[in-house]
Amino acid sequence: MIDSHCHLEMGQFDADRDACILRAMDSGIEAMITIGTDVESSMAAIGIAREYGFIYATVGIHPHTASTFTEGETYDQLKALCADKRVVAVGETGLDYHYDHSPRNVQRDVFVRHIELAQEIDLPLVIHSREAIQDTLEIITGCSVKNAVLHCFSGDMRMAEVLISRGLYISFSGVVTFKKAQELRDIAQMVPDDLLLIETDAPYLAPQPYRGKRNEPSYLNYTAGVIAQVRGISPQDVSRITSNNARRLFGVGEVASSGTITYKIRDSLYINLTNRCTNECIFCIRYKNDFVKGHNMRLPSEPGVDEIIAAIGDPVAYKEVVFCGYGEPLIRLDVVKGVARYVKSRGGTVRVNTNGQGNLINDQDVLPQLAGVVDHISISLNAQDAQTYERLCKPEFKGAYEGLLGFAREARHYIPVVTLTVVEMAGVDIKACQAIADDLGVNFRVRHLDVVG
C-alpha cells in the first residue's frame, strides 16, 4: 500500500520516527508521501525523503499558515524546493474555513498561487479543503485544475461528483472508519476505482481502533479494511487499486505498462484473453482506462491456451475462473474451450462473461460446445429493446439484439446458471430488462456504470 499523505517531519515523530517507518514497512506500506505545510517543514520532508528511497516529499504552504506566504520570496522558495528529485507534488494547499487561522481572502490567493506553481512546473497538486466546498470548487474550476488530489476528503456527495467529473483523485483518511461517518463511507463506495486514494494524514486522525491517539502510516490497514468493506472487495484489491493510483498521480514506482493475462479480484481469478470486441458500447470502460481494479488490461498480444493455463496455476485456489477481459471472450472460442476444459478437469468452476453474440461471431451454435465445461454464463443484455441496444452498444452484427436473446434462451439448455446483466444508465428500462430475464427464466443482475470487476 501507499500512504498518499502523512507528515513524517512533524515533531510528534521526533522520538520514534525510524521505528514508525519500520513499522509501516512491516505492515505492508511500500511508499509514503510526506507532506510539507510551510517552507521549513517542506525542507524537512525533503530531508526525510532523501534518507529513505521509498518516501517522497511535497512542498507547500498549508491554508493555516497562508498568511506567511509572501509573493516573490515564498513562491520562489517553493519553486526552488520543487526542483529536488524527491519532490513529487505541490501542496498541501487549499482552504480551511473551520479554523480560519489565515484570513479567507489570503487563503484563496495563496491557493491560486500554488495552482499556478503546480501548472508552471507540471507537478500534481495536493489540496486541503475543510468547510469550504463552494470556494474550493470555484477555484478548482476557475483555474482548470487537472492533476490533483483532494486529500482527507470531508466534503459532500455533490463535491465528490464535481471532482470526479474533472478526473481529480479523492483520498480517504481514518475518518472513514469513525462510527458516525456514514455519509463519507457512502462517498467512498461510489468513487471510481481509478480516482481512489487512501492516506493516514499521520500524526492526525488515527482510524478506529486508535482514534484519539497519535496516528502513524502502519495504521493505513484499518482505513483500507473499511474501504474494502464498503466497496465489496478485498483489502488486497484496495491496496492494489490505490497504490496504482498513487504511482500514477505522483509518478513514483512502477506502473504496469502492459496487460495481464490473469488477474485476481476478491477470491475469483479473471482471464483476459482478448481486447477485441464486436460491440462498441458507449459505456465501455476500455475507452476510458487501461486498468481494472489496479490491473492493466491492455494486452500486448493475445495469449494461447498453454500460456493461460500456466498463468492460472491451480484453479481450485479460486472461487471461480472467469473469462472476462477488455474484449469478447467468445471471439476466441477454441481458446475458451481449451482453458475451460483444463479448469474443469482440475475441479475448478468456470464462468464466461459475454455479449451474447457467440453464435453470430462464430457462425455456428457454440452453446453445445460449452456444455459441461462452463458452469455459469453471464450475458450482457444492456437494453430493453433492439433500438436502445443499437444506440448504446453499437454492435458490428445486424440483428445482434435478437441474436443475444436467442442465445440467452438456448443457453439454459446447456449451461447450469445463466444471468442477464444490464448497466444502470439513462435510457435503460431496468424493469423491462428484468421482465425479459424473468420471461426467459434466467437470473438478472444490475451493474453500476463504470464499476467493473
Residues that bind ligand SF4 (CB under 6 A): 277, 279-281, 284, 286, 327-328, 355, 380, 393
Q: How many CB atoms lie within 10 A of CB 227?
A: 25
CB of 193 to ligand SF4, least distance (A): 16
CB of 370 to ligand SF4, least distance (A): 18
Rounded Cα–Cα distance for residues 79 and 30 (Å)? 28
The least distance separating ligand SF4 from the CB of residue 440, rounded to whole angstroms, comes to 19
Identify which of residues 196 and 297 has a Cβ nearer to ligand SF4 in the complex: 297
Q: Would the CA dihedral through 88, 257, 29, 49 be positive or negative?
A: negative
For ligand SF4, which is the closer residue by CB, 60 or 395? Answer: 395
Of the pair 280, 334, the CB lying nearest ligand SF4 is at 280
Crossing angle of helices 386-393 and 400-411, rounded to 10°: 110
Q: Considering the complex, what minimum distance in angstroms separates the CB of residue 392 from ligand SF4?
A: 9
Which are the contacts of 390, defined by CB distance < 8 A and separation ≥ 6? 400, 401
- Please name the residue that has the C-alpha cell 477454441: 334
Tell me how far, at minimum, the Cβ of 366 lies from ligand SF4, in Å: 16
Pick 86 or 332: Cβ nearer ligand SF4:
332
Residue 318 C-beta: closest distance to ligand SF4, Å: 22
What's the min distance (Å) between Cβ of 442 and ligand SF4?
18
Q: What 3-state class would DSSP assign to 328?
A: coil
Task: Give min distance, CB of 158 to ligand SF4, in A.
Answer: 28
Structural element, H or E, at residue 207:
none
Residue 281 or 350 having the CB closest to ligand SF4:
281
With CA atoms as reference, report the closest residue to 211 among 241, 250, 173, 170. Answer: 173
Residue with Cβ nearer ligand SF4 (45 or 393): 393
Measured from the CB of residue 355, what is the shortest distance to ligand SF4 in angstroms?
A: 4
- Joined together, the cell numbers standing for residue 337 give 474451450
- CB closer to ligand SF4, 213 vs 391: 391
Letter for the amino acid at 237? Answer: D
Q: What DSSP character marks residue 141?
A: H
Smallest gap, in angstroms, from Cβ of residue 338 to ligand SF4? 21
Looking at beta carbons only, is 41 or 357 nearer to ligand SF4? 357
Shortest spacing between CB 276 and ligand SF4, in angstroms: 9
What is 25-64 written as a DSSP string? HHTT--EEEE--SSHHHHHHHHHHHHH-TTEEEEE---GG
Alpha helices in 101-172, H assignment, sequence order: 104-121, 133-142, 157-165
Of 194 and 328, which CB lies nearer to ligand SF4 in the complex structure?
328
Alpha-helical regions (H) of 268-399: 305-312, 333-345, 358-362, 367-370, 386-393
Residue 268: phi and psi, rounded to 5, are -110, 155
Whether the CA torsion 177, 145, 128, 77 is positive or negative: it is positive
Helix (H) or strand (E) holding 191: none
CA 9/CA 30 separation, integer angstroms: 18
Q: Give the residue carrying C-alpha cell 476557475.
A: 142
- The Cα–Cα gap between 36 and 384 comes to 54
Number of other residues whose CB lies within 10 A of the CB of residue 116: 13
Report which residue type is found at 113: R
* Minimum CB distance to ligand SF4 smaller for 90 or for 428: 428
